[in-house]
Amino acid sequence: MKGNTMADSPIVHWFPGHMAKATRMITEYIKKVDVVIELLDARIPRSSANPVITELVGQKPHIVLLNKVDLADPKATKEWTEFFTKQGITVLAIDSKSGKGNKKLISTVERLSKPIIDRWVAKGIRSRSVRIIILGIPNVGKSTLINSLAGSAATRTANKAGHTRGQQWVKIGKNLELLDTPGVLWPKLEDQRAAARLAMTGAVSDDVYDLEHVMKQLLNHLLTNTPNILVERYKLKEEEMTDVDTILESIGRRRGCLVSGGVVDFDKARRIILQDYRNTKLGTITLDKVDEEPYYPENGEDTQNG
């Protein structure tokens, strides 16, 4: 992980070409399927969403899945579910690891695809399996969900004529086939708060972001929204809860993150807190709020606010 950087440097170091490449790939994938499933991290539904998916989906059935609900705040998940529903988007809250929500997902796909099958029948087209795609960023649980839906005896068909080499179809039901695709990362780099939250949840590789800035955002979020969690987890005193720098130093000392001379190893302390967050040692926390606006800091403006 990188050390200190200037405040006007990006939190996540990525390249614009990745977004363009992701868009091209998604466009090609969507052409091949009947139903599009968008898999989001329930902790960061906005930050983990591809801003161009709705546009590319067009008139095809579109399902949004809020995954990892076991790691998210239940109240916030309910608010996000209502948010998508109001936009006319079918949304389900699931946990791909435990399989929670799988049956409802299958029945929802079957319901949404019925008009498609009816059109085939009306036109005299020989019925085929309904083709589905699950789009999601890395580490959002796509592979876990696909394996869970397919079962241990996943039927992966051979490459089909007319399809890009290397793509495979997974049978997940009598009349359902899933296009197995790699996870595509599309961080909205203009919104550095979203980029930081992708880093917090592990969606971005740990060697491409600024650890100091990411942890300032996480600590600021905790201090602002759930200070009691910090106090309980790290046994902090009231006078140590004044700002994120004091909190970090206090946690570092309590957890023995010291080098010669009794100086705190701040990076080690940051990693301990980050792992505690990812492992829900800090509770179930949703970082994205429904009523929150994207954050685009000006050059030189500190991006620590969470």
Structure tokens of 296? 């685009």
Give the pairing of strands 90-93 and 130-135: unpaired
> In Å, what is the CA distance from 258 to each residue of 28, 117, 268, 269, 290?
52, 64, 9, 9, 39
102 is in an annotated binding site: no
299 is in an annotated binding site: no
DSSP codes joined into one string, 63-115? EEEEE-GGGS-HHHHHHHHHHHHHTT-EEEE-BTTTTBTHHHHHHHHHHHHHH
Neighbours of 295 (CB within 10 A): 17
243 is in an annotated binding site: no
141 with 183: CB under 8 angstroms? no
36 is in an annotated binding site: no
Residue 187 one-letter amino acid: P
60 is in an annotated binding site: no
143 is in an annotated binding site: yes
265 is in an annotated binding site: no
144 is in an annotated binding site: yes
124 is in an annotated binding site: no
50 is in an annotated binding site: no
Rounded to the nearest 10 degrees, how much is the dihedral formed by the CA atoms of 207, 211, 215, 217?
-90
183 is in an annotated binding site: yes
Closest CA to 111 of 98, 95, 130: 130
Q: Binding site residues, as ranges?
A: 67-70, 139-144, 183
- Per the annotation, binding residues for GTP are 67-70, 139-144, 183
